Structure 1
Amino acid sequence: MTARSIVFANRGLAFDGRTVGQQPLGGVESSLIAVAEALAARGHRVSVYNDCTAPVTYRGVEWVPLRQGLPVRADLYVANRDHELLLGVPLARARALWLHNPGWKAGGWRYRLKLALRPARVIVLGDYHRNTLPSWMQDRAVTIPLALAEPFRTAAGGDRGRSPPRRAVFTSNPARNLDWLLRVWSERIHPHVPDAELHLFSGPEVYQMRPGTGRSGMERVLAQADTLRDRGVVRHRPVGREVLVDKVAGARAMLYRGHEEETFCLALAEAQGLGVPCVVQPIGSAPERVRNGITGIVAEDDETFAQGAVRLLTDDALWHAMHVDSLRLQRARGWNDVAQDFERLMRP
C-alpha cells in the first residue's frame, strides 16, 4: 500500500513508545504502541496524540502531546476508546473508533451523537466483543483481533525436555476475579498439590490508577493474597514485558477465571503463545483465547476449574501435550497482521 498519514488519539495516560521498556503497561497502551510501530514499519507516516509529556519520535512514530491540538487532515484517524476524540481531525478520509471495553459502555446517546456527526467504523476485538455492541452499532463494526509482541511469539520456541515446576501464574487485572481465584486456589487446588505455587504479577501500577478510581479495591485483593503465603501464593510487583516473558514462560499453567469486561485478554494470549496451558471459565472473551482440551481447559464450574488446574500441575503428559499444541497453534498472529487490517480501513 502507498504510504498514508495515520493519526491515533488517546486520552488519560502519559506514555509513548519508549515506555514499554521503562514500566509495566496495560493491554490498551501496549496495543496502541505496537500497532503504531507496525504501521510505521510498513512505511506509513504515523502520529499518536496523547498525554505524553513532550514530543518525541521513536521507532518511526511521532508522539505528540494532545494539548497541542490534533491535525485537520489524515488518511486514517483512529480515536482510541474515547468517543469525545471522534470529533477531531475533521477532514480525515477514513475514521474509526477503537473500542477496548464492552460495547454496552458505548450504547449511550453521547456515542450515538458523535458517530452521527463523524461517521466511523467501530473496531472490536472478537466475537464476544462484537456481541456486546448495541444493535444500532453492529453495522459499523469491524473485527481486528490483537496480536502478540515478538518475544511472546519466539520465546520458548522449542519443545522442553522437562516439565516445569508446579508453578501457576496470574498476570491480569487484580479486580477481574482474582479474589475468586485466591479462594479456589486455597480451598480446592493447593490442598491437592501442597508443593504448588501461584505467582501473581499484577497491580494498579500497570493501569496508572489514582486513588478513588478503583485502586483501593485492587489493593485489598492483593493484600488478601499476602495472607495466603502458607498456601503457596507469591505476590510480585508488575514487571515490564521483557521480564514478564521469562516469568510466564517458566510457569506450568496460567489460571484465570475470565471477566465479562475482558474483550480480548492479552494476558491469556501471551501465555498461550509462550506454550503455557491455561485454565479459564467461559466468561467474557476467555474461551476465545483457549482451545478447550487442546491448549488448555475451559471449565464450566468452580470444581471443574480446580480439577483442571490440579491435572495440569501434576500430570506431565497432559501438560506436555498442551504445551506443544499451544506453541504450534497460538502464536501465529503478529502486529504486522494487525497493521494490515488497519490498512484495510483506508480502502473504499
Structure 2
Amino acid sequence: MLITLIDDSIPYNGMTPTYQPLGGAEKAFASLPAALARCGHVVRAITRAPHAVSIENVSWLNFESRIPPITEVLIAFRKPSLLEMTRATGSRILWVPGSTGYLDQPEVKQLLERNQAKIVLQGTTHLESFNLESDLKYRAITPGVRDEYRECDPIQFSDTPTAICTTHPKQGMSWLLDLWCDKIHPKVEEAELHIFSASLHRMDESGEIVDDLLPIWEQVLKGKEKGVRIISPAGDNDMVKQFRYASVHLYPGSEKEMYCSTLAESQAVGVPAVARPLGAVKERIVDHQTGFLASDEDEFAKQAVMMLSEHDQRDTISKSARRYGSARGWDTVAREFETLF
C-alpha cells in the first residue's frame, strides 16, 4: 500500500535519532516509516527537515516539496488538520502522542468525524485518559524501542556506582535531587547521579540561568558536591553507551507522561529502574523484576541504594530488564498499524 505520514512540528527525518537528541514523540514518528517499508509498503514521510532524502526505502519529503496529491493511507501526527493535507483513498489515522483533551473541541471532533479518522493512542494509561464522545474508532499501539538499544552490547556497569536521570527538570527533578542528596548519596558516598538535560547543560556551559529553572539549578549546584553531574543528551548511538554503564535509572515520573520513552530505552539496555508509579511508568516496569515502583520517598531511596550497592541484586534485575525491555521493536508496531488499514 502507499502510505504517507505527516508531522509539521520540527526539522528531522529517519536518521536524526541516531545522531541527535530527539523527543520521544518525534523519535517514534522517525522510526515507524522504515518499519512499514520493511513490511512491503511504499512509504513517504513529510516533516520540516530542510532536504528531501531517501532513508531505508522511505522517501522523506519536506513542506517545500510538492506534497503528494493522493495516498492510500494517511497517518497524521498530533494535529488533526494534517488529515486534510492530501487525499486518502483508504484509511486516515490520527496518531496522538500526548494529551488528548484537545480532541474534544467541537471543531476538532467535526474534522475527525468528517474524515472518519481512526485514532491511535500510546498504551493503557493513554486509553484511560481518553474521553471522546464519538463513534470514531480508536486503539492503543505502544511505541517500539529502536534497535540501537535492543541490539546493543551487554551492559558493562561502571566501577563508580552510577545512577542516571533523563527527566525534564520540571517533572520531578527537584524532588529527586533532594532525595539524592538527603537519603541516597549518604548511603553510597562514591555514587554519582548523571542528569541528561539539554536545558541544564546549556546553563552549565554558558552560565546564563533561565529564571524558572533557578531553584532547580541551585539544587544542582549544591548536588555537585554529592556526585551530581550534568550531561548533554545525545543521539541514540551515544546514549546507549551512557546507559550501558549505569547501575540504575532513577525516574520521578509524571502523570502527564503517556509513554516514558527514555525509560523504555534504558530497560531495553538492561538498566534497572526505580520510579514513582505515575503516568505510564507502570507500563514500562515489571515491579520487582525489571525495576521497582516506589510510591514514597523512603521506598524509592531504599531501592536506589540497593541497585547502587548490591551487585547481585542489580545483576538479576538487569537481566530481566534487558529481556523484557528489548522484546518490542518497531517491526511489531508496524504490523499492529497494518490492522488499521
Cα displacement (A) at 1:67: 4.3
Q: Quote the Cα distance in structure 2 between the aligned partners of 1:293 and 1:165.
A: 24
Quote the Cα distance in structure 2 between the aligned partners of 1:241 and 1:316. Answer: 26
Deviation at 1:101, TM superposition (A): 0.5
Cα shift readout 1:30-81 (whole Å, capped 9, x = no counterpart): 1111111111222211111121112222221111112446433222111101
Change (3 A) 1:319 1:22: closer
Which of 257, 261, 264 is residue 259 of structure 2 equivalent to? 264
Task: Report what 2:144 is aligned to.
Answer: 147
* Letter in structure 2 aligned against 1:31: A
Among 100, 112, 118, the residue aligned to 1:115: 112
Aligned match for 1:95, one of 86, 92, 95: 92
How far off its partner does 1:245 sit?
A: 0.3
The structure-2 alpha-carbon separation of the partners of 1:300 and 1:138, relative to structure 1 and needing over 3 Å to count, comes to: farther
Change (3 A) 1:181 1:50: same
Matches within 5 A, 1:202-241: 202-204=197-199, 217=212, 221=216, 224-241=219-236
Unaligned residue ranges in structure 2 (runs of 5+): 202-209
Q: Which amino acid aligns with 1:231?
A: K
Shift of 1:223: 6.2
* SS, match of residue 11 in structure 1: coil
Provide the aligned length of Structure 1 versus Structure 2: 333
Percent of residue pairs identical: 28
1:165 Cα shift? 3.4
Match of 2:249 in 1: 254
Q: Structure 1 100/273 Cα, relative in aligned 2: closer, same or farther at 3 Å?
A: same
The answer as to whether partners of 1:107 and 1:133 remain within 8 angstroms in 2 is no
Distance 1:265-1:30 versus aligned 2 partners, 3 A rule: same
Question: Partner letter of residue 262 of structure 2?
Answer: A
- Asked if the contact 2:21–2:233 (Cα under 8 Å) also holds between the matched residues in 1, the reply is yes
Question: What CA distance in whole angstroms lies between the structure 1 residues aligned with 2:18 and 2:333?
Answer: 22
Whole-Å Cα distance in 1 between the matches of residues 242 and 55 of structure 2?
27
The yes-or-no answer on 1:276 pairing with 2:271 is yes
Change (3 A) 1:19 1:175: same
- In structure 2, the CA distance between the partners of 1:229 and 1:137, relative to structure 1 (3 Å rule), is farther
> What does 1:1-348 align with in structure 2 at a 5 Å threshold?
4-68=1-65, 70-136=67-133, 140-157=137-154, 165-204=160-199, 217=212, 221=216, 224-346=219-341
The DSSP-based 3-state class of the residue aligned with 2:167 is: coil
CA distance in 2, matches of 1:110, 1:217: 34
How far off is 1:224 after superposition?
A: 3.9
1:206-264 superposed Cα distances (whole Å, 9 cap, x missing partner)? 9xxxxxxxx86468645642442101100011111101001011100000111112111
Offset, 1:136: 1.7
1:318 Cα deviation after fit: 1.4
TM-align CA RMSD: 2.3
8 Å Cα contact 2:19/2:235 also seen in 1: yes
Distance in 1 (alpha carbons) for counterparts of 2:85 and 2:4: 10
With the length of structure 2 as denominator, give the TM-score of the two structures.
Answer: 0.90
Unaligned runs of 5+ in 1: 207-214
Shift of 1:138: 8.2
Question: What is the distance in 1 between the residues matched to 2:237 and 2:182?
Answer: 33
1:17 alignment partner, SS class: coil
Q: Secondary structure at the match of 2:170?
A: coil
Distance 1:40 1:163, change over 3 A: same
Q: Does structure 1 retain, via aligned residues, the 8 Å contact 2:8–2:47?
A: yes
Offset, 1:107: 2.8
Could you give the per-residue CA deviations for residues 266-320 of structure 1, whole angstroms, max 9, x where no partner exists?
1111111111110011100001100001110001112211111111111222112
